[in-house]
Structure 1
């Protein structure tokens, strides 16, 4: 079953942690109590993820402490206190999507660890709602297959090797606009579009502008995110210092996207015969949630960086 999800304006509120995400799906109304071990279990679980909601509490403090552990970069004067505590509410699918995007990074390294607490809280909330015996849920965001940047969160152990597995899929929009025909006419245009959307998912210009103008620790997290993006993309911090200092996030984002675009173009040209085929594989505008179920138990939870047989595609 594929549930085409619809959320309100944003997939996640990157720094303030107060947005409410809603995922809706047609003709679903399954409660967690109604989920059984039958062949339709993945569909029933997907319906629960799309329609049931949860409130989770988490802290940004671990991310601040991790940031201060790096030799270079922005420093947090304080790494604990009530200003670091967050509460957010949303559908389970929306919350999983928010974690997948909020913990994304390059080549397996997250841009920041500010959402580590949210990931743990959301995984715990899903386990409280659904039995993970014989069940695996993977939420994955990546701009295109095998992209250098991705985010993922997994709940439940992997199915035993050789076990028959049933699956269902739902998607949650990231807020990035779908590709337009004029952006898919050639590899260069497509790569520019994908790079711009990727950067804007990682650092939404409007929200980051507000965050940079806010008080600490929100503004510090925003500056740190931009510093980490510069480091991961190989952009000199001095190239974006004025833009970040002036909260000119659109200029900073364009600088990052222009650096990322050649890598995207090289990837897409190497994997696809035409811009049209490459555009069909682009998934920057959605988080894909795959539910798999089987008879019996599975192994222990794997790390979110581990690949799965579905691999989020």
Structure 2
């Protein structure tokens, strides 16, 4: 099953197209499980149903101004956006778009997009007894990650049914020759992580464009640089996002390497755990509901 999400060209900034490539039964962990088929039905709705979502960049611009950005205006038609895609694709895009370091989003430019995607999903699905978790992590317990949840967590005593959708980002999988040693692997993971949160080709075009998108991109790079304690001011002034991304990746790589060496016995084991090129959406259901959607 393949469902392509539409990329909104007007908001190409950090909104990654996605395709649903798998539907599998998920491990529900230590909770009791049931198999009523509702989670599969919900996952199919996410994969096959589309929505048009309206949202604004204004809340993010206002938050950015509070932190030193230079938006001369924070409202107006140029801040309003409309995008269309599968529910799963939209959820994957906002999961990456709201990612951050150590639990803090890089920026809040996608906050309203997140709220609108949640509303689109709950308008289509019966919310009772339903929890959807979308997560993007380069590897388990990585310092940078994105997570978006829809619905309340199931009661601890509830028997749950679960299914998983795997959504690829536009970041390619690791090449085989990058997994021979921890240093090469860590450099590759860091580079792909930065490319996922700040795609060089799209951000380059945005920097050469008009506000507010160009201002949002400069602010995003400034926040990434601050999180990684490195300067990208000069390359961003020249719209040289390749150099900026390389500096960010070089700063992130030692932390990645330290994590991977501490958690895995070999580079091959570490490479098997890397998931930088995908968003996982886990659907959990419980209770008496038997329908996946309205």
TM superposition score normalised by structure 2 = 0.89
| Residue of 159, 175, 178 corresponding to 2:154 | 159
Greater shift, 89-98 or 160-169, is seen at 160-169
Task: Count residues with an aligned counterpart.
Answer: 279
**Greater relative CO (CA pairs within 8 A, separation 6+):** 2
Q: Which residue pairs with 2:77 in the alignment?
A: 82
Task: After TM superposition, list the pairs within 5 Å mapping 1:256-295 onto structure 2.
Answer: 256-295=248-287
Structure 1 position 26, deviation (Å): 8.2
Q: Which residue pairs with 1:57 in the alignment?
A: 54
Task: After TM superposition, list the pairs within 5 Å mapping 1:55-204 onto structure 2.
Answer: 55-70=52-67, 72=68, 74-204=69-199
Q: Which residue pairs with 1:246 in the alignment?
A: 238
Question: 1: distance between equivalents of 2:245 and 2:16?
Answer: 25
Structure 1 position 177, deviation (Å): 0.7
**Change in CA separation of 1:185 and 1:7 when aligned onto 2, cut-off 3 Å:** farther
Contact 2:55–2:80 (CA under 8 A) maintained in structure 1:
yes
Contact 1:7–1:173 (CA under 8 A) maintained in structure 2:
no
Structure 2: runs of 5+ lacking an equivalent: 24-33, 290-294
Structure 1 position 7, deviation (Å): 3.6
Contact 2:191–2:249 (CA under 8 A) maintained in structure 1:
yes
SS of match in other structure, 1:251: helix
Could you list the structure 1 runs, at least 4 aligned residues long, displaced by more than 2 angstroms after superposition.
5-10, 12-27
**Change in CA separation of 1:156 and 1:278 when aligned onto 2, cut-off 3 Å:** same
Contact 1:142–1:283 (CA under 8 A) maintained in structure 2:
yes
Q: Which residue pairs with 1:43 in the alignment?
A: 40
SS of match in other structure, 2:250: helix
Provide Cα deviations, 1:27-49, integer angstroms capped at 9, x if missing partner: 9xxxxxxxxx9710111111110
**Change in CA separation of 1:44 and 1:291 when aligned onto 2, cut-off 3 Å:** same
SS of match in other structure, 1:79: coil
SS of match in other structure, 1:247: coil
Structure 1 position 23, deviation (Å): 3.6
Provide Cα deviations, 1:215-265, integer angstroms capped at 9, x if missing partner: 1111101100100001111113xxx22210111100000000000000000
RMSD between aligned residues? 2.3
Provide Cα deviations, 1:120-148, integer angstroms capped at 9, x if missing partner: 00000000000110110001001000000
| Residue of 219, 222, 236 corresponding to 2:217 | 222
Q: Which residue pairs with 2:28 in the alignment?
A: none
SS of match in other structure, 2:112: helix
Structure 1: runs of 5+ lacking an equivalent: 28-36, 298-313
Provide Cα deviations, 1:271-305, integer angstroms capped at 9, x if missing partner: 000111111110000000000011159xxxxxxxx
